[in-house]
Amino acid sequence: MKSKSANLKRVIAIGIVSMIVVTAFTGVVGVCPGGDTTDDTDVRLTSTSEKEKLTYDVSGTWTATSITGSGTFNPLTKDVTNGSITITIEVTGDITATYTYVAELYPGLGKWHGTSAVVNGTITVDGDKRPAKLWLKGDFTSFDFSPLDLEWSCELGCPVGDTHGATTDGEIVADFGWSGTCSGSVVTVDPLSGTWSITGSGSGTWEGVASGCLASKIESIGVGTGTVSLTGSPMIASLSYEVNKPGAIILARYKTNPGNPPTEKTLDKYVQVDSNIVDPEIDWSEVELRVNYTDAEVSAAGINESSLKMYRWNGTNWTEVSDSGVNTVDNYVWANLTGFSVYSPLGKASAVFDTGPGTYPSISGTHIGTITPNQNITVRKIYTYPCTGTGGHTEYVRIYGNEVNVSKTWNGYTEDYHNITFDSPFVLEAGKTYSYEIRTGSYPQIIHATNKTVTGGIITCTSFVDANGKEYTDWIPAIRLE
């Protein structure tokens, strides 16, 4: 499942062919104004119109209209030893629904865990009320039982993000939390058999965030093992599981990061995973999340594919899931989960060999020289820095030596014409010297030096023969290998 290889591709920007030139024989030597301008800009939309309607604060109140419960207790200590309490809860506000919430005591854990089935309701965002599927999950944080006073009370609920719902059109997911109190009378208590029953009422508040989604899915599951998939083009994510009770699982891909910006490089894939099945009924050793990606997405993000890991949003920071990794053959990041949350595949920046921009004068021709990287670099493509406003590009490239012999020819003025993507990625090893032959067209930027220490290593010029047949030994092509 964890084999390691991949082909990465990336789409960069396009340029327009135009140039102020100085004639020199049959070729033309061009001037690159400023010498350091490139149109290879990785642009992300950050306008108000792009970001609007991605997240909304939602809130409201809840009322327990009916409470019944029964169980057992220790007549000597008065401690409850078992029990089940059913609460009919009406939620109002930006979310409306009526839940039948059932809390059960797990004696071995000493905790009350509660949940409801999936119900029909509504989610309102920006005044737009939409039909939704929702559930209510949460625990008792306290439970006081007094068989002598014939009274009981509890505090209950869950943090924001621990219970969920989604509009039926799949466009909005609500992550919310709730809190409040319930109390009432002990209706029956039998010290001999150690049984009890209760009734009561309660109320509280709830709040959360409704987020725009690229895709979401709530799927009912039965007891045992299985897989829930959130499909797309390509596949978005899948979750394999083993559970001891039936219930439902939600998978949702947010349109935007629901947490703080991560320190690692991101693929902008944020996947919510949750279930209305309580934790003790889940075999966490069998719960695995896979988030899929494409070669183009990894390349565009500038991520070292082999460094990809799954990270979890804990409400404050993105933290690495200890048992996670990447399958670079089938293109997915996997993680064995220990709890439900928002997950995202993150990684380290990929190593590059980058000369940076060059200067003028410029002319096309054939470059011969060497490259000595100072770190291992996985090469998938070569980018050629163009003079401003030109179609400067590489028409042919060959890199060879130390068991590497790779070449590729330009595809013409397509949308990716400043780049040549190799058929398969290859590795240039740190400390080894490789030869290059690069034939350029139009007006690429030039580094006028015999050698230069650059990002990722050293590049040298053995010879450069321009389009007029004139030879130089200090014209290095301005390129980036990544």
210-224: pLDDT as tens digits? 999 999 999 999 999
Q: Are strands 393-401 and 119-125 parallel, antiparallel or unpaired?
A: unpaired
Q: What is the pLDDT of residues 237-269, one digit of tens each?
A: 999 999 999 999 999 999 999 888 999 999 999
What is d(CA 37, CA 418) in angstroms, rounded to the nearest whole number? 14
Residue-number span of the structural domain to which 402 is assigned: 21-38+357-481
Do 301 and 339 fall into the same domain? Answer: yes
- Statement: residue 38 has pLDDT above 80: no
Number of domain units in the chain: 3
Q: What is the pLDDT of residues 51-74, one digit of tens each?
A: 344 789 999 999 999 999 999 999
Residue with tokens 């014409």: 417
CATH code (residue 428): 2.60.120
Q: Which of 169, 194, 216 is the last residue of a domain?
A: 216
Do 32 and 164 fall into the same domain? Answer: no
Residues 469-475, mean pLDDT to the nearest whole number: 97
Residue 2: pLDDT band with limits 50, 70, 90: very low
Other CB atoms closer than 10 Å to residue 415's CB: what's the count? 10
Between 38-47, 345-354, 362-371, the lowest mean confidence (pLDDT) is in: 38-47
Give the residue from 91, 87, 89 showing the smallest Cα distance to 102.
87
Q: Which of 216, 242, 267 is the last residue of a domain?
A: 216
For residue 234, is it within any domain? yes
Q: What is the pLDDT of residues 384-418, one digit of tens each?
A: 999 999 999 999 999 999 999 999 999 999 888 99
Two tokens, residue 202: 């309660």
Do 322 and 195 fall into the same domain? Answer: no
**14 or 235, higher pLDDT:** 235
Q: Which of 314, 347, 380 is the last residue of a domain?
A: 347
For residue 253, is it within any domain? yes
Cα angle 270, 275, 277 (rounded to 5 degrees) comes to 160
Q: φ and ψ at 300, to 5 degrees? A: -65, -30
Do 337 and 373 fall into the same domain? Answer: no
Mean pLDDT of the chain: 88
* pLDDT of res. 29: 52
Do 29 and 90 fall into the same domain? Answer: no
* pLDDT of res. 425: 84
For residue 46, is it within any domain? no
Do 81 and 209 fall into the same domain? Answer: yes
The pTM of this model reads 0.72
Two tokens, residue 220: 């009912």
For residue 205, is it within any domain? yes
Give the residue from 350, 321, 368 showing the smallest Cα distance to 425.
350
For residue 93, is it within any domain? yes
- Statement: residue 36 has pLDDT above 50: no
For residue 460, is it within any domain? yes
Q: Are strands 377-384 and 111-116 parallel, antiparallel or unpaired?
A: unpaired
Residues 178-190, mean pLDDT to the nearest whole number: 97
